[in-house]
Amino acid sequence: MKHLSSILFAISLSVAQLATAQCTPDAVYVGAPAGIYPGTSVNLPVVALPEAYSASLTINTETDTAISVNVGPLPINAIAYISAMRINAVNGLPPGFIHSTDQLEWINGGAAPSFSKVQGCISIAADAASVQQILQDNPTGASFPLELLLDARIHSTSNALLNGVVSNTWLSDLAATVPGTGAQIITGYVLTVEPDVTGLSNSFRVKGSIYPNPSNGMLTLKTNILSINQVRTFSLLNFAGQEVYRKDLTQETETFNLPDNFASGIYLARILDENGASSLTEQLILSK
């Protein structure tokens, strides 16, 4: 059970050649908990070439959350069982960029109080003309911070008294009558426009994820970088900046266990190219 304010949604980033491409949830995250992968440290693919753009976001839904509602002078705390989720809006997109989803709502499986999560996806896209206009308007680059308005429908709660107030109601609809509720605002994702200095197509820019994070020692690494400049090494640095682990990569998706003698703590996970340069960097928390 997680607080709704801290819900994370599994997000897998991909770039398609056509802005009209239908997004598909990434099955590699089926077993992952609700969370954002690879996270805002990797973020959305950049906009750098005058061609159609599409970034696909894979979402794993949440199934319950803690709520507190004032009934009279006293607050009542309960667990709210979530039957569905949806995206109400994606704010901050530049002109010509739109978002769409594979479903109007993502309906959880099972029944209260034991709903099961499902996957869905969001596509952020623009046609080539819109991308070219953004590049012309921002020749030195620009950043567009995004806000995802994420809504949840409460089926019922663990408190019978609250069920008459919040049952079968979207959080966005409760905001007017129940203070502290409403659709959640997810921030941290940025659509970045930059001049194309690498000559690489947007379809081949580095994107990836390392999960779960925090980890108990087992990691899954998913990335497209094996097709870019022969990037092929995973590296871990300790808090002092010393390399404590290195692994050659042979697949775009690999699952492996770190050595048993690894101590809990904060590490810096890196993907290195054939020259030893870092192409992807993310903080990793190891908790045993």
Which pairing describes strands 233-237 and 190-193: parallel, antiparallel, or unpaired? unpaired
pLDDT of residue 273: 65
Which residue ranges make up each domain of the chain?
Answer: 2-193, 206-286
- The domain defined by 206-286 folds into Immunoglobulin-like (2.60.40)
- How far apart (Å, rounded) are the C-alpha atoms in residues 149 and 92? 11
Q: What global pTM score does this model have? A: 0.61
Residues 6+ apart with CB under 8 A from 117: 34, 60, 61, 62, 63, 108, 109
**Confidence class for position 20, pLDDT limits 50, 70, 90:** very low
Tokens at residue 216, please?
A: 């108990």
Section 91-118 average pLDDT: 94
Query: Per DSSP, what are the bridge partners of residue 219?
Result: 256
pLDDT of residue 41: 57
Whether 40 contacts 189, CB under 8 Å: yes
* pLDDT tens-digit map of 188-200: 888 888 764 444 4
Section 202-229 average pLDDT: 67
In 63-215, alpha helices (H): 128-137, 160-166, 171-174
Higher pLDDT among residues 90 and 6, named by residue: 90
What phi and psi, each to the nearest 5 degrees, are found at residue 214?
-70, 160
Residue 2 has pLDDT above 60, yes or no: no
* pLDDT tens-digit map of 199-212: 444 333 445 678 88
Share of residues in the chain with pLDDT > 90 (%): 21
Section 112-139 average pLDDT: 89
Averaged pLDDT of the chain: 77
Section 84-109 average pLDDT: 94
Architecture of 2-193 per CATH? Answer: Sandwich (2.60)
Query: Per DSSP, what are the bridge partners of residue 218?
Result: 257
Handedness of CA 195, 198, 204, 207 (dihedral sign): negative
Tokens at residue 73, please?
A: 């002078």
Is-same-fold flag (2-193; 206-286)? yes
Higher pLDDT among residues 187 and 219, named by residue: 219
- How far apart (Å, rounded) are the C-alpha atoms in residues 167 and 163? 5
Say which residue the tokens 């426009």 belong to. 193
Residue 258 has pLDDT above 50, yes or no: yes
**Confidence class for position 40, pLDDT limits 50, 70, 90:** low
- Other beta carbons within 10 angstroms of residue 210's beta carbon come to 24
